[in-house]
Amino acid sequence: MSTPAKGGSMRTPLARVRNLGAAHSGTSDFWRQRVSAIAMILLLIPAILIIMIMLGRNQAGAAQILGSPLIAIIVLLFIVASVLHMKIGMQVVIEDYVHGEKLKLSAIIANNFFCASVALASIYAILKLSSGV
């Protein structure tokens, strides 16, 4: 009988990697991206209408329009769905096309921080405009 591999396991290499493929982690990202895309499609028409209503208005006019809770909620939902969709899409691109592990990890971290920054800044702006402050 041969001695166990470095990990102390007597399993074959095939047995060690079986059921550990990308399908276990990638499926949830796939579905999250599809759900965020559907949310964006449903919110796209109201968001475009809101943007068209706000065209040519100053900050006071935009604050007045966004003062409506329904309009502010629609815009916030559109921002959250868009940022989530962007984060997942960029992460998939990074995982597929960046080959160095350190560079890949750095790019994923930068992607997460960028998406969080965009989301927080956008949400803050909408909340500030909608509260009239």
d(CA 90, CA 83): 10
d(CA 119, CA 122): 5
pTM: 0.75
Write out pLDDT tens, residues 50-97. 999 999 999 888 889 999 999 999 999 999 999 999 999 999 999 999
- Classify residue 94 by burial, with Cβ atoms within 10 Å: 0-12, 13-18, 19+: middle
d(CA 56, CA 72): 19
pLDDT at 6: 59
Per-residue pLDDT band at 17 (split at 50, 70, 90): low
Domains within the chain, CATH numbers bracketed: 25-131 (1.20.1300.10)
Q: What torsion, rounded to 10 degrees, do the Cα atoms 24, 26, 30, 31 define?
A: 30
